[in-house]
Amino acid sequence: MAGSETNTPPVEVPGVTLFLYRVAVNEHLRNEPRAEAPPPLALDLHYLLTVWAENVDDEHRIMAWVMLQLHTHNALSASDLSPVGVWRPDELVQIVPAEIPQEDILRMWDALRRPYRPSVTYVARVVCIDVQGKPAGRPVVARRFDFTDEVPRR
């Protein structure tokens, strides 16, 4: 059954939604030795892409166009990403189709408590999050604490 043939309310404006359903540590970069200490947290972001339209033909047309755009432009470089200064010049986020069982997609729709809509899954990899709060000074190498039961005099 097509998504627009269900008993959902009419769609006012055709569109596309992205639902982030899973965040995972990128296994390939997790164990890669790096000069940085600590290395950035490398993540894969899993998205459910859904099309919304008043009729099946429009849904199919929009889905085909979006998938073609993601196939053609399957990587985002630092110049494509915003805000300026947050992304390293060498960073690249790849956008690739993700194969998951149809049963898992249907479970997602059950969890969302919405009727099924035409949808496809994609992974944005690798999104790196830099570790914040690096110390400004040298590390502490020795500590001294004094303890006494006496009350300080004034």
pTM of the model: 0.70
Return the closest-CA partner of residue 59 out of 17, 122, 108, 111. 17
The predicted pLDDT at position 49 comes to 94
Helix (H) or strand (E) segment spanning residue 44 = strand 41-52
pLDDT band at 43 (very low <50, low <70, confident <90, very high): very high
The amino acid present at 144, given as its one-letter code, is R
134 has a pLDDT exceeding 70: no
pLDDT band at 154 (very low <50, low <70, confident <90, very high): low
In angstroms, rounded to a whole number, what is the distance separating the alpha carbons of residues 100 and 123?
11
The predicted pLDDT at position 135 comes to 60
pLDDT band at 11 (very low <50, low <70, confident <90, very high): low
